[in-house]
Each structure stands twice: as structure tokens, then as C-alpha cells.
Amino acid sequence: MKIYAFEVRDDEREYFEELSEIPEIELELHPEGLTRTSISELEPGCGVTVLGMYNYRRPELDMMKNQGVIGLSTRTIGYNHIDIDYARRIGLHVCNACYDPHGVADYTIMMILLCLRNYKQALWRTQVNDFSLTGLMGRELKDLTVGIIGTGQIGSTVIKELSGFGCRILACNRHKNPAVSGLAEYVSLETIYREADVISLHLPLTPETYHMINAEALSRMKKGVVLINCARGALTDIKALISGIESEQIGALGLDCIEYEEDIVHRDLRTDILSNRDMAYLRQFKNVIHTQHMAFYTDSAVKSMVHCGVRGLVEMAAGKKCATQLC
């Protein structure tokens, strides 16, 4: 089976090379993204694996189907860059990736601690030999209530790791996860907004969760809330975040993802002007920590994403339903 891999990063190549030894597959690696031009050059009967920096909507999916593509895999957990409903309608199989949740969970805990301990300001000061303490007093997790919105694999792992800090943990999810029984108290979203000192988001981006953190939601939260998002940027309304920081309704932001980041993250833009003005403005505040969508980025996770992306295509081509199949 011929498998085309697009958006291949240098750090993925060794894991693709491991898979190239499998006799029944032939891998062709491309660092560039999958475009309409490259779709037209695909061999019939092939599989395609991509990352999440390009969108695949009706025109692209129709082209893949007409070109004879058997399956499309995204080497990411998120899949909002693919029109899954339309892929299902035309019979194009799609799967996403899976990886151990500890990397993102660890990163989330780190973000919480960095925000609570005013780390950005402390780091700035030490760069100019200012070792004073004024304005840097932090807070301890044991004295706080943390709200976790979304208790799937990552959210539940965050809860398990947080349980060692002695904080009160509230959780909200459509269905209760027995894995966190005794560690967190399931409550309504309204209760989390009202009582949590720290709120961390661990949800997929869907029409229902889009901009769930908006101006109205922020107004129902505790004054000075610490908000963490290591999930999907568009869960939060960036303009509402700016207003929340300016009004001090938000005490600190820890963002590994941000709305309209698609043309910015994972690129070297040191000599460019950022196209996202709201992002450029928001990230300069002393109490906003913003990183380049890298919470997932560990050696273990990258290997899993590559292997999962290829394995899913092989299984779908064989008529099997793979563990991460979306349609």
C-alpha cells in the first residue's frame, strides 16, 4: 500500500523510517502540506496522513475520493481541520491519532504553577539583573479550588496529577469518568465558574464548545480567575480574553493555543509581522503566558502520532475499523 505523508517535520522522520521496514507499505514523505495540486498527483488506492496546519473541506475531500484515496489520517488528536461529516457522507475513511495523555497533563500543571508564581515577570526581571521580589508574591495550590472542564483522557490525568497538591478539585463533563472517582467532585459548569480559582479546559473543539469562554462566561467567574487552555484555541473568544485581562477579571492566562493561530504556530516568524494583532497584543501582558502549541510535544507522543497515523491507514485499507477511526 502506498502511503503519502505530508507536513512531515524533521523530528518525525526517524519514526517514519522505522515504519518503512514494514513490507506491505511504501512510504513517501513530504515536508510541504497537502494541496489540491498534490492531491491530483496521488496514486489511486493510496492512504494519506497529514498534520493540522491545512484545512480539508468539501473540495479537497471530493478530490481525494475521486482520486481513489482509501483513507485520510491526521497525526493529531484534534480534527476540526477536516470536515468529518462530509467525509462520512462520501465514504472517505478518516482517523486521528492517539498518544499518552501525560505530556499534555504535565504541561497543564506547569502552566498552572507558572501563572500562580508570576514566573513570566520573574524571568523578565532576572534577564536585566533585577532580583527584587516586589509584585512577585504567588499563591499555593493547596489553598485553591481548581476546576477541570472536560474529563477525558487528558482531563482525568490532570486531575490525578493535581490530587497530589492538596487542592480542591471540581470537574465538569457530560459523563462522569470513574477514573477520577474520589479525586474530584463533579459539579455544574456554573459551579466551576462561581467557585474555581483556576479553570483548565480539556475539550474538543465542536460547534457546541466554540467560544464557550466568552465575555458572558467570564463575567460569571471569580474575580482574578486563572484560566488555562492547553486544548483548542477557539474554545476561548480572544477578544473576551483581552477585555478580561484589561479589566483584571482574569488574573492570569496560561495559553498553549490561541484563536486564529493556524498560520503562526510551528513557524519561525522572527523576521515577519504577526498577522494576528489580537494575539500580539494579548501575549505582551505580564500575566499572560503563551507558548507555541507544544503541550503535546514529547518524544513519546511524536512517535505515537506517526505510528498511529500510518497504522490507522493500513487497518482501514484492510477493511478493519481502527481504534481512532472517525468515519
pLDDT at 251: 99
Catalytic residue among 12, 60, 261, 315: 261
**Residue 282's Cα: distance from chain center in Å?**
19
Rg (the chain; Cα; Å): 21
- 168, 146 contact by CB (below 8 A): yes
Q: Is-catalytic flag, 57?
A: no
Average of pLDDT values for 234-257?
Answer: 99
Catalytic residue among 202, 232, 290, 307: 232
**Strand partners of residue 199:** 147, 227
Extract the C-alpha cell encoding 163: 490530587
Sign of the four-CA dihedral 195, 292, 97, 263: positive
The single-letter code of the amino acid at 118 is N
Superfamily of domain 102-290: NAD(P)-binding Rossmann-like Domain (3.40.50.720)
Is 62 a residue whose pLDDT tops 90? yes
Average of pLDDT values for 54-67?
Answer: 96
Confidence of residue 22 (pLDDT cuts 50, 70, 90): confident
pLDDT at 24: 87
Burial-class residue 300 by CB neighbours within 10 Å (0-12, 13-18, 19+): exposed
Confidence of residue 20 (pLDDT cuts 50, 70, 90): confident
Q: Is-catalytic flag, 261?
A: yes
CA separation for the pair 186, 27 (Å, rounded): 46
Superfamily of domain 2-99+299-317: NAD(P)-binding Rossmann-like Domain (3.40.50.720)
Greatest alpha-carbon pair distance for the chain in Å reads: 65
Q: Is-catalytic flag, 232?
A: yes
Look at 24 and 150; give whichever has higher pLDDT. 150
Confidence of residue 52 (pLDDT cuts 50, 70, 90): confident
Is 93 a residue whose pLDDT tops 90? yes
Catalytic residue among 75, 290, 293, 307: 293
Q: Tens digit of pLDDT for each residue in 118-168?
A: 999 999 999 999 999 999 999 999 999 999 999 999 999 999 999 999 999
Q: Which residues contact 41 (CB under 8 A, 6 or more apart)?
A: none
User: Scanning the structure block, which residue is given the C-alpha cell 484589561?
Assistant: 246
Topology match between the domains 2-99+299-317 and 102-290 = yes
Extract the C-alpha cell encoding 23: 513490507
Extract the C-alpha cell encoding 110: 506547569
What's the chain's average pLDDT? 96
Domain boundaries, the chain: 2-99+299-317, 102-290
Confidence of residue 262 (pLDDT cuts 50, 70, 90): confident
